[in-house]
Amino acid sequence: MIAELTKNERNGALVILAVLTVVGLVMAVAGYADPFGIHGGLVAIAALAGIFAVISGYFAPEPTLARFGEYYDTPSKIGIGLAMAWAVFGLFVGDWVAWLLAYPNATFDAGWSSFGRLRPVHTTGVIFGFGGNALIATSFHVMQRTCRARLPDQLTPLFVLFGYNLFCILAVTGYLMGLTQSKEYAEPEWYVDLWLVVVWVTYLVLYLRLLARRREPHIYVANWYYLAFIVVVAMLHVVNNLAVPISFYEAKSYSLFSGVQDAMTEWWYGHNAVAFFLTSGFLGMMYYYLPKRAGRPIFSYRMSIVSFWGITFFYMWAGSHHLHYTALPQWVQTLGMTFSLMLLIPSWGSAGNALLTLNGAWGRVRDDATLRFMMVAAVFYGLTTFEGSFMAIRSVNSLSHYTDWTIGHVHAGALGWVAMITFGSIYALVPWLWKREGMYSPRAVEVHFWLALGGTLVYVLAMWNSGIIQGLMWRTYNDSGTLAYSFVDSVVAMRPYYIARAIGGLMFLLGAIVGSWNIWMTVRMPAPVPADAGGDQPAIALQAGE
Amino acid sequence: MAVEERDPYSGWMTTGHEWNGIKELNTPVPRAVWFFLGLAALFSLGYWILMPAWPLGRDYTRGLLGLDQREIVAKSIAEAAADRPWLGEIANKDFPVILADPRLMADIRQTGRTLFGDNCAACHGQTAQGGPGFPNLTAGSWLWGGDPADIAETIRVGINSANPDSRTSQMMAFGRDEILPRTDVEAVAAYVRSLSNLRPAGTQAQIEAGKALFAANCTTCHGEDAKGNQQVGAPDLTDRYWIYGSDLQTVFATVWGGRQGHMPSWQGRLSPTDIKILALYLTDLRKRGS
């Protein structure tokens, strides 16, 4: 990895890491009495490890100009490894908290292992750890191919990737120490948020630099989506995390917003995180890997445009549907509900565009588990967006809100759509990146597919049942005109579903473990006879010496 | 440079662009998409006209239906109250009258169960049978009196709570505060256990000594006969119901370290009628249990 950096880049890396070490040490000393100090130590250790890595490769010969004849894929390769590691970790913690709900004592009586701390470890681990790394890794790959240009330099992508993972680690270790802003999906404290701003802006600039170097006259749809993902996440992250720290060497901060404004800002953020992190970015993935794997042209360019702008415009308004029947003024709820309804059409436009692209390749869908992952993902995307718009209707929401139905809905999206499209894309990408003929074990891909699909169905069906039972129990009256069930009654009724859900989650986790093993074995496979690069080269190559 | 070509499978033209092998068809957007987009937009438009929808500076469009979620809630709460005429009767009638009225008691059983489940079960258990530290409310003698009015008062003010009228009870830490030496605490613990014939019993000498110690230290609160005193919330030590536990270790710990149970006050959190319902529910639970 270091050998691929030019001398200047190695020096640049050393400077960045030295600054980071100093920052970490200052944090550690100033905040020694607070978890802030522990995080400082962690930053310093990570940066020092980086320095050692750079120094150990410092005197390797510089890369030759031949590198311009190839895409720069090292960050994508590392990113895939990190994504799978986070997947296994995040899913494991998720399944643990699932069992906790059925067997609440499984915490070993420790603070760090209480439900309230483990839950954000799970959500951050899977969304930002697994999802984020997969997005970064694939975005680098897709961007270069569809722009026919090599990444502008070698250092920035590595900075984005490792910087982002440092963010994830600070977030997760913070929760275990009890640090949280108590905003769902925005739990990390102020200094972790600031670090992400640095990383994310670098990511955006990197993306724009590459786009400016592109050798294709048109920007491919996948890139619109990746770009929307990067731009909007930056905006959401900055606004929702505006906060005042209680001091510059302590972790705790107070949000700039309070009361219903805080709730609205949080759910504007929260729902758009679903929209632009968990939807837009992964649609970018889908628009590249699905047609590529199926060997079919995109069904309709025009539908891509309608869907893209529909999704981008409508999603922005939808967040208030998380706050129906609350102190939020009713007019805001009306807007949230109606825009959520209109959102269904472009969402189905995207799902339909994906499925219709498979026309002419259904035979391959049958035989190829990788393509089937992507097909099922598109189906779940359609199902989940329908369900989402449905649940945004106020009267439906009065039944579904605060119940497990919401959890079922989220996981239909997270497992069925986001994880499936990612696994499909990774299975397509790994052999391309490592120049192998295929995955080490196609049968293991098949096994993973069925574990993932089975696990998702068990999970989602359990939560639908549990959620609807819960919702109905909470609104059933007896003939005295009072509520028929206490809250505890509904908890007791949910228990069998909690167990079923934990089993579904376990299946999904096992699938990810099989997948990780398979990827590892593929990477370790002996390299095949050097194949013809088959056009997998940047355009720059044609003008050597640039 | 765009070279359009016809896709042999679908028959549509491509847009002529290609990205690393990916092409796009120029298929028109299906009619259905436009139709449903229009439909959703029309629905939204109609909804905006009828309901509160768009902000206007300091105000917002109220909508033709004039609906307001706060008014709707207030109205449905009023309607729900109208659905429960028996609540008024509970508020106005005396405990004995209600207890003698099977119709009202049927309502009490239904409503009391959920009230208890939502507010009390976390400590006293779903069936009100208690657990270590939390008394069984269905059997045994009462700490503070078993008259429905007494129970209602206990619920209202709580025990050792922050309420100014709170009932206060205190079981001193005889060992830790060095009122009695360790051997005496062991002896009196053995004696207390002997009152309800628990095994393994202490030695005869311990029990004799304990009896004297009990008479000297404990009877002011627990009574000459150790049957408790509802004036100070001291429990009956001769029955088989224990708040904290009857094994030697626990009884020793009780006398050594003292106890001060905490029961929250429900005044202000539950309405007077709800408190009355709970008192009646507990009275009825015990009556049906015995």
Q: What is the pLDDT of residues A186-201, one digit of tens each?
A: 999 999 999 999 999 9
Q: Which of A216, A331, A337 sits opposite B54 (nearest CB)?
A: A331
Beta-carbon count within 10 A of A370 CB: 27
- Which of A147, A75, A141, A136 has its CA nearest to residue A540? A147
**Residue A534 pLDDT > 70:** no
Q: Report the percentage of chain A scoring pLDDT > 70.
A: 97
Contact A334 B53 (CB under 8 A): yes
Q: Report the percentage of chain A scoring pLDDT > 90.
A: 93
Q: Which of A107-116, A421-430, A509-518, B94-103 has the lowest mean pLDDT?
A: A107-116
Residues 6+ apart with CB under 8 A from A387: A409, A412
Residue of B nearest to A538 (CA): B20
**Residue A530 pLDDT > 70:** no
Mean pLDDT value across residues B219-242: 94
Decide: helix, strand or coil at residue B171. strand
Q: How far apart are CA A175 and CA A172, in angstroms?
A: 5
Structure tokens at B100: 């003698």
The structure tokens 């839950």 sit at A119
B10 lies within 8 A of chain A by CB: yes
To probe the interface with A, which of B3, B33, B118 has the most A CB atoms within 10 Å? B33
Strands A253-255 and B59-60: unpaired
pLDDT tier, A106 (very low <50, low <70, confident <90, very high otherwise): confident
Q: What is the ipTM of this complex?
A: 0.90
Q: How far apart are CA A72 and CA B244, in angstroms?
A: 69
Which residue pairs, CB below 8 angstroms and at least 24 apart, start in A428-431? A428/A289, A428/A292, A428/A293, A428/A370, A429/A76, A429/A80, A429/A137, A429/A138, A429/A141, A429/A289, A430/A80, A430/A519, A430/A522, A430/A523, A431/A522
pLDDT tier, B118 (very low <50, low <70, confident <90, very high otherwise): very high
pLDDT tier, A154 (very low <50, low <70, confident <90, very high otherwise): very high
Report the pLDDT value the prediction gives residue A529, as an integer from 0 to 100. Answer: 62
Q: Which of A148, A220, A306 sits opposite B33 (nearest CB)?
A: A306
**Residue B199 pLDDT > 90:** no
Contact B44 A303 (CB under 8 A): no
Q: Which of A301, A479, A483 sits opposite B114 (nearest CB)?
A: A483
Q: What is the pLDDT of residues A493-506, one digit of tens each?
A: 999 999 999 999 99
**CATH fit for domain A64-545, picks 2.130.10.30, 1.20.210.10, 3.40.50.2300, 3.90.105.10:** 1.20.210.10
From chain A, the residues in CB contact with B22 under 8 A are: 146, 220, 288, 291-292, 297-298
Report the pLDDT value the prediction gives residue A118, as an integer from 0 to 100. Answer: 97
- The full set of domains in chain B, from first to last, is 86-165+263-289 (1.10.760.10), 182-257 (1.10.760.10)
Residue of A nearest to B54 (CA): A331
To probe the interface with B, which of A486, A489, A490, A536 has the most B CB atoms within 10 Å? A486
Q: Which of A217, A345, A487 sits opposite B40 (nearest CB)?
A: A345
Contact A291 B22 (CB under 8 A): yes
Report the pLDDT value the prediction gives residue A526, as an integer from 0 to 100. Answer: 86
**Residue A509 pLDDT > 80:** yes
To the nearest whole Å, the CA of B174 is away from the closest chain A CA by 31
From chain A, the residues in CB contact with B60 under 8 A are: 329, 331
**Residue B205 pLDDT > 50:** yes
Q: Which of A325, A346, A360 sits opposite B69 (nearest CB)?
A: A325
Q: What are the extents of the domains in chain A?
A: 1-63, 64-545
What average pLDDT is seen over chain A?
95
From chain B, the residues in CB contact with A216 under 8 A are: 17, 19
**Residue B67 pLDDT > 50:** yes
**Residue A423 pLDDT > 90:** yes
Residue A102, phi then psi, degrees to nearest 5:
-90, -35
Q: Which of A480, A484, A488 sits opposite B86 (nearest CB)?
A: A480
Q: DSSP states of B195-226 as a string? A: HTT-SS---HHHHHHHHHHHHHHTHHHH-TTS
Report the pLDDT value the prediction gives residue A546, as an integer from 0 to 100. Answer: 27
Residues 6+ apart with CB under 8 A from B288: none
pLDDT tier, A545 (very low <50, low <70, confident <90, very high otherwise): very low
Strands B55-56 and B22-25: unpaired
Give the predicted TM-score (pTM) of the model.
0.91
Report the pLDDT value the prediction gives residue A541, as an integer from 0 to 100. Answer: 44
pLDDT tier, A527 (very low <50, low <70, confident <90, very high otherwise): confident
Q: How far apart are CA B190 and CA A169, in angstroms?
A: 57
B162 lies within 8 A of chain A by CB: no
Mean pLDDT value across residues A350-375: 96
Q: DSSP states of A445-465 as a string? A: HHHHHHHHHHHHHHHHHHHHH
Integer angstrom CA distances of residue A315 from A280, A401, A484: 10, 19, 38
A329 lies within 8 A of chain B by CB: yes
Contact B27 A300 (CB under 8 A): yes
Residue of B nearest to A484 (CA): B114
Mean pLDDT value across residues A387-403: 96
Q: Evaluate whether A314 touches A342 at the Cβ level (below 8 Å).
A: yes
Q: How far apart are CA B47 and CA B40, in angstroms?
A: 10
The structure tokens 């627990």 sit at B222
**3-state per-residue secondary structure call for A216-240:** CCCCCHHHHHHHHHHHHHHHHHHHH
Contact A301 B1 (CB under 8 A): no
The structure tokens 């256990």 sit at B193
Report the pLDDT value the prediction gives residue B173, as an integer from 0 to 100. Answer: 96
Mean pLDDT value across residues B92-99: 96
Mean pLDDT value across residues A280-301: 96
**Residue A60 pLDDT > 70:** yes
From chain B, the residues in CB contact with A288 under 8 A are: 22
Q: How far apart are CA B269 and CA A181, in angstroms?
A: 29
- Which of A351, A326, A346, A324 has its CA nearest to residue A335? A324
To the nearest whole Å, the CA of A116 is away from the closest chain B CA by 19
To probe the interface with A, which of B1, B3, B5, B22 has the most A CB atoms within 10 Å? B22
From chain A, the residues in CB contact with B114 under 8 A are: 482-486, 489
